[in-house]
Amino acid sequence: MENSRIAGMLDEVGTLIELSEDNAFRARAYHNAARVVENQTEDVAALQASGKLANVAGLGKEMRAHISEILATGRLTLLDELIAAIEPGLIAMLRIPGLGPKRIRLLHQALGVKTLDELAEACRTNRVAAISGFGAKSQANILNGIEFLSSQQEHFNYAPARELADVVIAAIRAIPGVLRAEVAGSLRRKKEVVHDLDAVASVAQDGDRAAVMAAFVALPQVQSVIAHGESKSAVVLEGGVAMDLRVVTDDEYGSALHHFTGSKEHHIVLRGMALERGIKINEYGVWRGDERLPVANEADVYALLGMDYIEPELREERGEIQAALDHTLPHLVTANDIQGALHCHSTWSDGHASIREMAQACRALGYHYLGICDHSQLAAYAHGLTPADVRRQQAEIDALNAEFGPDFRILKGTECDIHKDGALDFDDATLATFDFVVASIHSNFNLSEAEETQRLIRAIQNPYTTIIGHPTGRLLLQRAGYPVDLPAVIAAAGARGVAIELNANPARFDLDWRWLRLATEHGVPIPICPDAHAPDGLTDIAYGVGIARKGWLTPANVPNAWPLDRLLAWFAEVRERGRAGG
């Protein structure tokens, strides 16, 4: 039983409790337990067997009993009872902006509405406005919210959200009176998908806020205004992206940026810890009793608690607070550490630029090497290369390397398809001609989890495999990818010394950052690969670095942060270990 499945069941219990009773803290305990289970790098079943589950904070007696039941039976009686008792349509109502569990219960009890459609109809027939506590505006907002849900995307990929945010932040900075402005929220934490945008801006004095806010809601990118206050406004931008802006005085900016960067879970733990030390943290500052402690910037918040600074990417309540107290936070990889690009395509297969153009683009970015990895023959849809094509391509690479000289190196690679049975798509003689081999799945996504897992493990055990490409095949917000037991794949890669790529294409970000720490614990190197099909795709590496940082990666974990000689030595070492039988 995967941790994520156990977590999913506990999380669902939490949501159903929200809808069935008043004790929000009980619901939170379940959501919290779900996150704790999800964050365990070891299997919960193993933790239970070794008795270590009792030491995990957030999992009390009741939660451990639930976990035991799930592990033994695959089911949870409490969850079954809640599902039987609660209308499933009420869960969907939680997604309506401005409508929470209490008012949903009230609507259900007063009107008997069980689905979004029934609720919309109740709004149209004026039955919602008649309920005590509701009115004409609530009714209109609920109806608008239901229409918004059906017409808008709920989440957005990081890259387009970032581009839009950069435009709007620049516009906010240009508003007269604004001293500082920055994007906050999940985008600043580099989450792979974001729900909305948060931003913080500062002004010299309170009196300047209203004018700045008025200018913000009037920006050309603003489609509609949801809330407009002096210090806080909420709007919907073009493309349906919701955005919140907070305006504070400049002495509050550090605390406000920290507060609105989140995550909520990080703050709950941090503030609880601060309270134990007699310190209160809010979005305006840090206080000991009535005394306001000096906070010039975000780092001061942590320093006042005796902790190391925690980068925004790490603020997910996954052990970073304890590590900051212990001074054991990792030295995170940065874009400046990147030495080259591995896993790039050219016009030899489905790329849109020649090898020369890709190499020139890499040199312009200051990189020292480029790994060309065109598709293999099985990928006919992508004009995959035959062994004869490979020989001609490698002759071209030799000629280009001779021309470029010693300062830049084009590496001979392949993105070699993994067959249904786990075999690679080239014979050994051809595989031996490459400097390195990226092995990827592009077909037969519908096998069982056991079959896909075995398929990847067999590819890992091929002596020529250097890197497993996009290990789950997911496309964010589009498709889930094939089912795969990632802990088993990570363990196999670690045992064999094979790397797993972090595909930096913002539609993929595969391997998911939540697995990166488990991978590094197993000694699996994680190259950050752009999977670029054109020169502009190389810039995805910067996005991949953000995800790598969320996964606590250091330059030592990332082969393309290594100089060329070390990289080549590692390629040879992986192949040698493969030939020696792992």
Stretch that binds DNA, among 263-271, 311-319, 419-427, 558-566 (CB under 7 A): 263-271
For the CB of residue 104, give the shortest distance to DNA in the complex, in Å.
6
Please report, for the chain, how many H helices and E strands are present, in that order.
24, 18
Say whether residue 125 binds DNA (CB under 7 A).
Answer: no
The residue among 66 and 412 lying less far from DNA, judged by its C-beta, is 66
Rounded-to-10 torsion of CA 216, 220, 221, 222: 60
The residue among 15 and 505 lying less far from DNA, judged by its C-beta, is 15
Say whether residue 25 binds DNA (CB under 7 A).
Answer: yes
For DNA, the binding residue among 5, 280, 479, 579 (CB under 7 A) is 280
Subset of residues 216 to 235 that bind DNA, contact rule: CB under 7 A: 227-232
Say whether residue 185 binds DNA (CB under 7 A).
Answer: yes
Say whether residue 57 binds DNA (CB under 7 A).
Answer: yes
Contacts with DNA: how many residues (CB under 7 A)? 61
Indicate the burial class of 220 (C-beta count within 10 angstroms; 0-12, 13-18, 19 or more).
Answer: exposed
The residue among 278 and 406 lying less far from DNA, judged by its C-beta, is 278
CA distance 332 to 202: 29
Peptide linkage before 151 cis (omega within 30 of 0): no
Say whether residue 239 binds DNA (CB under 7 A).
Answer: no
Say whether residue 157 binds DNA (CB under 7 A).
Answer: no
CB atoms within 10 A of CB 150: 8
Say whether residue 275 binds DNA (CB under 7 A).
Answer: yes
Say whether residue 137 binds DNA (CB under 7 A).
Answer: yes
Say whether residue 83 binds DNA (CB under 7 A).
Answer: no
Peptide linkage before 511 cis (omega within 30 of 0): yes
For the CB of residue 200, give the shortest distance to DNA in the complex, in Å.
11
CA distance 202 to 179: 5
For the CB of residue 554, give the shortest distance to DNA in the complex, in Å.
30
Both tokens of 224, joined, read: 């509609």
For DNA, the binding residue among 12, 182, 196, 415 (CB under 7 A) is 196
The residue among 291 and 407 lying less far from DNA, judged by its C-beta, is 291
Say whether residue 167 binds DNA (CB under 7 A).
Answer: no
For the CB of residue 234, give the shortest distance to DNA in the complex, in Å.
7
Say whether residue 283 binds DNA (CB under 7 A).
Answer: yes
Q: What DSSP string runs through 26-76?
A: HHHHHHHHHHHHHH-SS-HHHHHHTTGGGGSTT--HHHHHHHHHHHHHS--
For the CB of residue 321, give the shortest distance to DNA in the complex, in Å.
13
Cα–chain center distance at 435 = 31
CB contact set of 61 (below 8 Å; sequence gap of 6+): none
For the CB of residue 495, give the shortest distance to DNA in the complex, in Å.
34
Nearest to 286 by CA among 261, 314, 256, 247: 256
For the CB of residue 241, give the shortest distance to DNA in the complex, in Å.
12
For DNA, the binding residue among 9, 16, 33, 424 (CB under 7 A) is 33
3-state SS, residue 382: helix
Give yes or no for a contact between 97 and 240, defined as CB atoms under 8 angstroms apart.
no
The residue among 98 and 160 lying less far from DNA, judged by its C-beta, is 98
3-state SS, residue 241: coil
Say whether residue 202 binds DNA (CB under 7 A).
Answer: no
Say whether residue 68 binds DNA (CB under 7 A).
Answer: no
Say whether residue 61 binds DNA (CB under 7 A).
Answer: yes
Say whether residue 72 binds DNA (CB under 7 A).
Answer: no
DSSP designation for 223: E
Which run of H or of E encompasses 246? strand 242-249
The residue among 61 and 331 lying less far from DNA, judged by its C-beta, is 61
For DNA, the binding residue among 148, 158, 216, 260 (CB under 7 A) is 260
CB contact set of 434 (below 8 Å; sequence gap of 6+): 390, 412, 413, 414, 464
Stretch that binds DNA, among 82-90, 93-101, 360-368, 460-468 (CB under 7 A): 93-101
CA distance 12 to 5: 11
Q: What DSSP string runs through 154-200?
A: S-EEHHHHHHHHHHHHHHHHTSTT--EEEEEHHHHTT-SEESEEEEE
For the CB of residue 67, give the shortest distance to DNA in the complex, in Å.
9
Give yes or no for a contact between 196 and 205, defined as CB atoms under 8 angstroms apart.
no
Q: What DSSP string runs through 385-397?
A: BPHHHHHHHHHHH
For DNA, the binding residue among 26, 363, 368, 514 (CB under 7 A) is 26
For DNA, the binding residue among 7, 29, 199, 460 (CB under 7 A) is 29
The dihedrals phi and psi of 420, each to the nearest 5 degrees, come to -55, -30
CA distance 538 to 347: 15
For the CB of residue 467, give the shortest distance to DNA in the complex, in Å.
37
For DNA, the binding residue among 39, 141, 349, 376 (CB under 7 A) is 141
Give yes or no for a contact between 378 and 337, defined as CB atoms under 8 angstroms apart.
no
Say whether residue 244 binds DNA (CB under 7 A).
Answer: yes
Say whether residue 99 binds DNA (CB under 7 A).
Answer: yes
Stretch that binds DNA, among 256-264, 291-299, 362-370, 470-478 (CB under 7 A): 256-264
Q: Note the residues at the interface with DNA (CB under 7 A).
A: 23, 25-26, 28-30, 33, 57-64, 94, 96-104, 129, 132-139, 141, 185, 195-196, 198, 227-232, 242, 244, 260, 262, 264, 267-268, 271-272, 275-276, 280-284
